[in-house]
Amino acid sequence: MSIVNVKQKEDVQSLAGDFLAVAQKAAIAAYPWIGKGNKIGTDQAGTTAMRDEMNRINMNASIVIGEGEMDEAPMLYIGENLGAGTEPQVDIAVDPIEGTTLVSKGQDNSLAVIAVAKRGTLLHAPDMYMEKMAVGPEAKGCINIEASLTENMKSVAKVLGKDVSELTVMMQERTRHNHLMKQVFNLGAKVRLFSDVDITGAIATAVDELDVDILVGTGGAPEGVIAAVALKCLGGDFQGRLVPKSEKELVRCKKMGIANPHALLTMDDIVKSHDCFFVATGITDGPLLKGVRKRNHKLITHSFVATAEQSQFIEARHKVPFI
């Protein structure tokens, strides 16, 4: 009979160290799949590693944002219960491999990401598009996703004490964002484009060294929830608005408890509690985190952990038998 190593914790944020191990193990499990052209194998490896580790933590957890619906195992499906205890009761938004295509092609900026919050406080965002806007702590309270990007840039520049032409606006390189790029260029400001994983772009607005003032664009709603948790911990700001594109998606919104699918969503609408945290570990190199590396028979991971009290980058060395 196996013995479960139950880890005793009392509140949500005290679980951050345990979830650091969850993200690290998912990233390490994905490492052998980098550049192998197998998205399914990559995802299954990360998912299995995450599930196994989360089931060792003394908590009562529910997946509110995962990789699929119930009965779509081996994914971490919406509604799946995890943990080896009854308290604390938490909601989890997770993507074991954020950027599976990036991993399969050996490209940059893939992550293992997890957001955790007190039970009942995370938006149950359907798997559809969301308009997003994010800024760091100095510009908190200065954005309005219902206004034009031009107006938002002027507002952010004013509070940052910059000329609007000095701003850097990050967005995903997609044709749907051409009208946003035009507004940035018209003000003489700078665009920084990325291919995938807008969670990194949102967090970048709150990390001074990355020199990003605004993240804007339309991307996945589940990733929007994860980014909102990170920015809540970092003191930044985030707004979103769901973009249902069919009657089926409208019905799905209402089924998940969203009465007005077109409403503006503030950060407090998306994550209602400050008792939350965010963890990410790099799989391949990106602007925020280094990818998993092998050195002298050890694997090196680079992670980022943010709680309401602090944020930190963590480099760890793992013995190869770890995988």
Name residue, tokens 């089926």. Answer: 248
237 is in an annotated binding site: no
Q: Closest Cα partner for 93 from 115, 111, 75, 124?
A: 115
Beta bridge partners of residue 175, listed in sequence order: none
Helix (H) or strand (E) holding 104: helix 100-104
End-to-end CA distance of the chain: 22
Is 43 part of any known ligand binding site? yes
Output Rg (C-alpha) for the chain, integer angstroms. Answer: 19
**Does 223 show up as a binding residue in the annotation?**
yes
Enter the tokens of residue 110.
Answer: 């893939």
What angle in degrees, to the nearest 10, is found between the helix axes of 149-160 and 178-186? 50
Cis preceding-peptide flag for 96 (omega within 30 of 0): no
Q: Residue 192: which residues within 8 A CB-CB, separation 6 or more?
A: 168, 169, 170, 171, 212
Q: What are the φ/ψ torsions at residue 309 (nearest 5 degrees)? A: -90, -35
Element housing 129 (H / E): strand 129-135
Q: How far is the C-alpha of 205 from the C-alpha of 292, rounded, in Å?
A: 24
The answer on whether 100 is annotated among ligand-binding residues is yes
Does 201 carry a binding-site annotation? Answer: no
Q: Is 67 annotated as a binding residue?
A: yes
- Strand 129-135's sheet: what is its strand order? 190-194, 168-172, 214-220, 129-135, 237-243, 265-266
Whether 31 has a binding-site annotation, put simply, is no
CA 74 vs CA 69, 111, 146, 302: distances in Å? 11, 19, 39, 26
Pair of tokens at residue 160 = 């940052």
Task: Please check if 176 is assigned to a binding site.
Answer: yes
- To the question of whether residue 53 is assigned a binding role by annotation, the answer is no
174 is in an annotated binding site: yes
Does the annotation flag 156 for ligand binding?
Answer: no
Which residues are annotated binding-site positions for substrate?
98-100, 129, 174-176, 196-198, 220
**Annotated binding residues, as ranges?**
43, 67, 95, 98-100, 129, 174-176, 196-198, 220, 223
Binding residue positions for Mn(2+): 43, 67, 95, 98, 223
